[in-house]
Amino acid sequence: MASEESRPLLGTNVEAELHAERPSQLEVYLSKVQNQNLYLATFAAVLGPLSFGFVLGYSSPAIPSLRRGNVPELRLKDSQASWFGSVVTLGAAAGGILGGYLVDKCGRKLSLMLCAIPYVFGFATIISAQNVWMLYVGRLLNGLASGVTSLVVPVYISEVAHSKVRGMLGSCVQLMVVIGILGAYVAGMGLEWRWLAVWCSIPPCFMLGLMAFMPETPRFLLSRHQRPEAIAALQFLRGPLVDHEWECRETEAHTEEQQELKIAEFKNPSIYKPFLIGVAMMFFQQVSGINAIMFYAETIFEEAKFKNSSAASVIVGSIQVFFTALAALIIDRTGRKILLVISGLIMAASAAVFGIYFKIALPTPNNFTHVNLAIPSLSVMVGTEQHPLAWLAVLSLGLFIMGFALGWGPIPWLVMSEIFPLRARGVASGACVLTNWFMAFLVTKEFHDLMVLLTPYGTFWLFSVTCLLNVVFTVFCVPETRGKSLEEIEAHFQRTH
Ligand code: BGC
């Protein structure tokens, strides 16, 4: 096996070595695998991210609908509307902690099924809301469910998949999130907020029903010494033609001796290295400014004189769906790192252009500070007339969203599910989810203050710089996990200290 000398985080020599060492048995095994049931199990699981996309997309059409509605107690003021949108991220951060606990204690499958409860109760609370607090509680429950889902589903998929399709299936998590966001926007064009909440509660019900018939992951079963159940799960997931015993033994070789993770083990590079990489990826995903820019989208399209700003949201949602699907299709061929680099560069360039637009379009800096909105309105800032360069804002916004969808959207979630050793998976993924959602909360909540402090162009140039840092971080720190089994990735981190 590999020598003990220290190596770069994931040098090409290691990669080549891993491929050369790969037993041809793996190729033989993979050539006989039948994927239908694996796709079915993935489909059942990604109904979770679909539900959380619905939760994320819900507030955009629901807020105007609530304001137009005939219940005076529910006509949200600006600050209430901003909380209605952002309280989800706080619930989801808490969901990260809960999810990290559940996924190890109850298993991947049961944790996922349990998510359906706060989803449905959350929407039921919103549907029956008599006052603003009931709306907040409903959103908080929805957020909690979203946080648990965003942890459990990537872990479930990476553990049932095999290395040939793990990237594609793992990327379906983000694909379903953006389809959910788009689904909520489209339905919101025709449904008022209550019926929209009824519509959004359908996917978690389906997830609950379908997941009941799917297996627990073989890795989790083996870690609990439930070998016959693990073999049965592999028979379901890989079809009858392969040697299930062989895959079981391969996985077992790494899971047999595993005990509960102790805090002191965080001194061990095979634990803290992937931990830091995972948490940093989530941090970088959010400081790219994606949620602030998505929040801003409608205003930008309004400024460019798009008659129907909800149609503009649908356009943004469609760009995300298209390019996330493209990333899912190519990721197992291109690898993760190259897509992250391309994505970061596109985002950095488009955020810089966006900043230039603001610099040119804003006659006097800081003339927006009096605007009492969560985010200063672009039309207030640049006047009610369409600026001749409005197309530049729309173009750079479209490019930014495209760049995000190609890499920094799906890949942090995928890598999170791949790099942690099995016994650290719950705790470490919990820390990632917590970081992601807490940063999402901070960025969306503090965006206004940042615009006042740094001016709008300064803010977008700052996002541009953070996107460049994402690229530098990717090049030096992110391991390439394409084509490797989860056990090979674990072994890699064990060897690189
Ligand atoms: C991010 C969310 C974001 C969503 C948008 C996810 O990967 O974690 O913060 O709102 O993508 O598509």
Predicted local confidence at residue 325, as pLDDT: 95
| 404 Cα–ligand 1 center, Å | 9
Q: What is the spatial distance between Cα 282 and Cα 440, in angstroms, rounded to a whole number?
A: 10
**Does 89 contact ligand 1 (Cβ within 6 A)?**
no
Classify the C-alpha dihedral 210-212-215-221 as positive or negative.
Answer: positive
Tokens 């997309």 locate to 57
| Residues contacting 8, CB < 8 A, separation 6+ | 14, 496
> What whole-number distance in Å separates Cα of residue 438 and Cα of residue 165?
31
pLDDT band at residue 22 using 50, 70 and 90 as cut-offs: low
Residue 15: its pLDDT value, please?
Answer: 42
Q: For residue 380, is pLDDT > 60?
A: no
Predicted pLDDT at 2:
37
Q: Which residues, at least 6 apart from 386, have a Cβ–Cβ distance to it below 8 Å?
A: 303, 304, 305
312-324 tens-digit pLDDT: 778 888 999 999 9
Query: Which has the closest alpha carbon to 274: 6, 77, 9?
Result: 9
Relative to the CA of 408, which ligand 1 atom is closest?
7
Which positions ≥6 away from 80 have C-beta within 8 Å?
Answer: 132
Contacts of 382 (CB under 8 A, 6+ apart): 303, 361, 362, 363
* Atom of ligand 1 lying closest to residue 324 CA: 12
Q: What is the mean pLDDT of residues 390-412?
A: 91
More reliable by pLDDT, 479 or 297: 479
Residue 140 · residue 87 · CB < 8 Å? yes
Question: Mean pLDDT over all residues of the chain?
Answer: 85
Average pLDDT over residues 353-357: 90
Does 17 score more than 70 pLDDT? Answer: no
Q: Concatenated DSSP letters for 172-220?
A: HHHHHHHHHHHHHHHHHHHS-HHHHHHHHTHHHHHHHHHHTTSPPPHHH
Q: Please choose from 52, 59, 171, 285 the residue to mutate so as to test ligand 1's pocket, defined by most ligand atoms within 8 A of CB.
A: 285
Read off the pLDDT of residues 251-286 as tens digits, 9 standing for 90 and up. Answer: 887 665 556 677 777 788 888 899 999 999 999 999
**Which residue is closest in CA terms to ligand 1's atom 1?**
409
The whole-number pLDDT of residue 266 equals 77
Of 122, 107, 127, whose CA–CA distance to 62 is shortest?
A: 127
Ligand 1 nearest atom to the CA of residue 174, by list position: 7
Angle in degrees, 0-180, between the axes of helices 244-255 and 486-495, rounded to the nearest 10: 30
Q: Which two tokens stand for residue 93?
A: 């951060």
Q: Which of 197, 201, 92, 103 is nearest to 150 (CA)?
A: 92
- Would you say the CB of residue 470 lies under 6 angstroms from ligand 1? no
Greater confidence (490 vs 93) lies with 93
DSSP 47: H
- The CATH class of the 32-214+258-495 domain is mainly alpha
Residue-by-residue DSSP string for 287-344: HTTHHHHHHHHHHHHHHTT-S-HHHHHHHHHHHHHHHHHHHHHHHHHH-HHHHHHHHH
Position with higher pLDDT, 308 vs 404: 404
Whole-number pLDDT of residue 260: 66
Verify whether ligand 1 is closer than 6 Å to residue 409 (CB atom): yes
* Ligand 1 centroid from CA 270, angstroms: 28
The residue contributing the CA closest to ligand 1 atom 6 is 409
Long-range contact list for 249-254, CB < 8 A, 24+ apart?
A: 250/485, 250/487, 251/218, 251/219, 251/222, 251/487, 252/222, 252/227, 253/487, 254/422, 254/487, 254/490, 254/491
CA–centroid distance, residue 352 to ligand 1 (Å): 21
d(CA 490, CA 66): 49
Whole-number Å distance between alpha carbons of 401 and 272: 32
Higher-scoring residue by pLDDT: 227, 300: 227
Q: Which of 54, 174, 408, 411 to mutate to test the pocket of ligand 1 (most atoms within 8 A of CB)?
A: 174
Residue 150, ligand 1, Cβ within 6 A: no
Give the confidence band of 392 by pLDDT, cuts at 50, 70, 90: confident
User: Is the pLDDT confidence value at 488 over 80?
Assistant: yes
pLDDT of residue 10: 37
**22 or 32, greater pLDDT:** 32
Q: Which of 63-72, 124-133, 472-481 has the lowest mean pLDDT?
A: 63-72
Q: For residue 265, give every residue at least 6 positions away whose Cβ sits within 8 Å of its Cβ, in sequence order, or none.
A: 271, 424
Site to substitute for ligand 1 among 287, 290, 432, most atoms within 8 A of C-beta: 290
Distance CA 231, CA 234 (A): 5
pLDDT above 60 for 77: yes
Q: Tell me, what's the pLDDT at 9?
A: 39
Most confident of 77-91, 179-193, 367-381: 179-193
> Residue written as tokens 């978690």?
204
Q: Is 93 in the pocket of ligand 1 (CB under 6 A)?
A: no
User: Is the CB of residue 170 less than 8 Å from the CB of residue 414?
Assistant: yes
What secondary structure letter does DSSP report for 70?
S
List of residues 6+ apart from 135 with CB closer than 8 A: 66, 74, 76, 84, 125, 126, 129
Decide whether any atom of ligand 1 lies within 6 Å of the 147 Cβ. Answer: no
Torsion of CA 139, 181, 49, 399, to 10 degrees: -130
Domain boundaries of the chain, sorted by first residue: 1-31, 32-214+258-495
Residue that is written with structure tokens 């993979």 in the block = 30
